[in-house]
Structure 1
Amino acid sequence: MIDNKEILEKIRDAQNDTRYILDDSTPKKGLIKTLTIWFLSYLIFSIILYFISNYAMTSLNENLFSLVRVMTVILFLLTIVIYVISVYKIKMTFKEKDFLTFFTCFIAIMAFIRMIFPISYWLKADFLLSIFDSFPIESLVVILALFVLFNYFRTKTILLIILLNIVGEIAVVYFISSFLNSNIPTEMMIKLYDMSMILKNNGGFVMISFAFLLILLNLKKV
């Protein structure tokens, strides 16, 4: 038998699910919390892999390279799991849950992009790397994800982040092309190339874009 406390809890949940309709607002508390948890997992795992990869490159240890490949797949699969668990464990409105359920496809694609290197190595599928190197897949996915978020929040701030993504991708392509096409690259060109490759290979556009987005959301600027 359902006790009074449980009945009151269900009534409260129903009120929360319909309040945004009555006051013409956009529910976002659960959405922000879910995206924040996912983002922190993505950020922390990226930092861990970055330092381990750098150490592997320095030591030229094949066992470490193998470890990095395995860890990359495990950790970024884990980001998807963390996101899905958060969607179903965090208290939120039905509107938020429906949106985040749909948004799972972007979370999965962003994780898969980070797994391209080990997957292409294991499958000997060099064409995956060629696609990644010749086409700004990550930037495109991030921009599409931000457009979806813009459609939810309806705020021009997200459009600004999209614009910054486009400018950033153009800059990265320019810096990489300038370095590769230069017979004698300058020290500045080398630094810009290194920075561009770090952003490109370590989920830089994902981390920067969602960092800005979540900061603005948590500051209630949107």
Structure 2
Amino acid sequence: MRGRGWMAVAAATAAVIAGFRLLPDDPRWTTAWQVAALALLAVLVVLTARLSRQVTGQSRQIRELARTDELTGLPNRRAWNEELPRALEHARREGTPVCVAVFDLDRFRQFNDEHGPAAGDRFLKAAAAAWHGALRRVDTLARDGGEEFAVLLPGADLDRARAAVTRALAATPLGQTFSAGVALWDGAETSDELVARADGALYAAKAAGRNRVVAAGAGAGPDAHMRSSA
């Protein structure tokens, strides 16, 4: 549709030019054709502007789709990798805290085996919606892939971030649980280093029995909050 629109603009423009060359050598014909040509060109300007807006809108939609997880509608890994460095830079400029949480559904493969992949997909959609509602509006929940998710918590210290993720854990539907690790940016580490510390806390949560949120600490042992299984 868009290609045909541009072809119509080009064809109409060519017709105006060709018609002007074929005019009789008569000022009255020339004036009449000029008026008609100006009217047609005005239409072409409007059509071109409309097509340009359509192209811009479709390009924006394509970019957004490339940043969105198809199943849950959450930001995907690509979007996460773009947003996290920006959040750290903003925190550096403003002198505000920022935390990252990573979490992994507990025994999700077993859930899929028992209920089937379609039920697993429905659960992931429902869980994503529940977690999104439990987190703060400023937080960014992203799907890293499979049953792995990440949360960007700007302006949150470690206690507030851990509390937000614990609320998400409590909101997990169907009695399912997840294990999570939370890390506070130290103001100097890279995005990868920050996520690696959160990953380390996640592994500690799994090793401690799953179904809990563990905060990555500097030197001291990690602190954990556990939610009882339903």
**Higher strand residue share:** 2
TM class, shorter-chain normalised?
under 0.3
**Higher helix residue share:** 1
TM-score by length of 2: 0.22
